[in-house]
Structure 1
Amino acid sequence: MTPKTDATVVSAGTNVTATFSAAVQGVTGGTFVLRNAAGSTVPATVSWNASTRTATLDPDAGLAADTRYTATLVGGTSAIRGSEGTPLASISWSFLTGPAPVATSTIPGSNALLVRRTNNISVAFNEAVQGVSGATFTVRNAATGAVVPASVYRNGSTNQWVLDPQQSLSARTKYTVTVTGGAAAVRDLAGNPFAGRTWQFTTGSF
Structure 2
Amino acid sequence: MSARRLWMQWIAVLGMLLAFSQAAWAKDASNWKISVSPTDKATEVAADAVITLTFSGTVRLANSRDITDKSLLSIVQLGDEKKKKVPFTAKWNKTARSIVIDPVGNLEAGKAYRVTLPAKKLKDARGELNPELSAAFTTKKPVDNIAPQAIILPGHGAKQVKLEEKVTLQFAEEVTLASGGALSSKTAAGLVRLTDEKGQAVPHTVTWNKSKRMLSIKPKGKWQPHTSYQVSLAGGLLQDQAGNVNKSQWSSFTSGAK
Name the TM-score, length of structure 2 as normaliser: 0.40
Larger strand share, 1 or 2 = 1
Name the TM-score, length of structure 1 as normaliser: 0.49
Larger helix share, 1 or 2 = 2
Higher relative contact order (CA 8 A, sep 6+): 1
Higher Cα Rg: structure 1 or 2? 2
